[in-house]
């Protein structure tokens, strides 16, 4: 099935309110990822709570984790973001709580490296959802050992614009070496500037 035809079929299912049909389409892993993204968005628009469980399952199973770098990785992240945003429309509190848990470091060593993409996707999703309950988990990320996690969390905190983030961001700057962790250092610095501008 072509992408255009597949998305047209998804629109028909959405108009009919066929939640079961949409869930079936969502769970077909062999289906084109653009079509599955359209399904996730459609489920979010329909807003039926029956879709919450399969949407959460996709996050729990880290679908797409380990995808090749580049375009495949970007497509996977975009799909996971659509899943998170759909879930937020159905049950925002549960979605934010689940994503917040995903941002946390769990295991040392190689196992944690394998989870990096999942954690970054969760932080990006919290940014798009824009819920104030994401504030504390994001602050915790500023103390993470991974400079990329610190950098992305800093950027999102800058977007949120909460002045309470300034001191933790300053600590992040002190922790992040300007030469070795330049990415995290500059992200924290820019976040502080953005928050201060919003306060003026």
pLDDT at site 111: 55
Q: What does the CA dihedral 82, 83, 87, 89 come to, rounded to 10 degrees?
A: 20
Domains located in the chain, CATH noted: 1-90 (1.25.10), 92-200 (1.25.10.10)
pLDDT at site 66: 46
Res. 31 pLDDT band, cuts 50 70 90: confident
Q: Name the token pair of 18.
A: 């066929």
Helix (H) or strand (E) holding 144: none
Residue-wise pLDDT for 57-87, tens only, equals 887 765 544 444 455 566 688 888 999 999 9
Res. 30 pLDDT band, cuts 50 70 90: confident
What is the mean predicted confidence (pLDDT) over 139-153? 93
pTM of the full predicted structure? 0.79
Q: Could you tell me what percent of the chain has a pLDDT over 90?
A: 52
- Exposure string for 84-103, b = 16+ CB within 10 A, e = fewer: bbbbbbbbeeebbebbbebb
Judged against a pLDDT cut of 50, whether residue 169 lies above it is answered with yes
pLDDT at site 54: 92
In angstroms, how far is CA 167 from the centroid of its own chain?
Answer: 25
The CA-based angle 135-140-141, given to 5 degrees, is 100
Judged against a pLDDT cut of 90, whether residue 190 lies above it is answered with yes
More confident residue, 31 or 110: 31
Nearest to 174 by CA among 163, 166, 185: 185
Angle between helices 3-16 and 19-26 (to 10 degrees): 150
């Amino acid at each position: 099935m072509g992408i255009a035809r597949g998305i047209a079929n998804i629109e028909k299912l959405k108009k009919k309110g066929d939640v079961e049909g949409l869930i079936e389409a969502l769970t077909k892993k062999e289906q084109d990822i653009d079509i599955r993204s359209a399904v996730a968005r459609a489920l979010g628009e329909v807003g039926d709570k029956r879709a919450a469980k399969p949407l959460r399952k996709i996050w729990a199973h880290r679908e797409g984790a380990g995808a090749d770098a580049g375009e495949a990785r970007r497509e996977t992240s975009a799909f996971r973001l659509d899943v998170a945003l759909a879930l937020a429309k159905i049950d925002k509190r549960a979605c934010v709580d689940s994503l917040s848990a995903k941002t946390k470091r769990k295991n040392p060593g190689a196992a944690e490296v394998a989870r990096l993409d999942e954690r970054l996707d969760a932080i990006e999703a919290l940014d798009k959802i824009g819920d104030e309950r994401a504030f504390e988990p994001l602050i915790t990320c500023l103390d993470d050992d991974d400079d990329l996690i610190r950098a992305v969390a800093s950027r999102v905190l800058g977007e949120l614009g909460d002045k309470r983030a300034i001191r933790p961001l300053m600590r992040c700057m002190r922790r992040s070496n300007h030469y070795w962790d330049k990415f995290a250092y500059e992200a924290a610095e820019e976040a502080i500037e953005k928050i201060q501008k919003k306060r003026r």
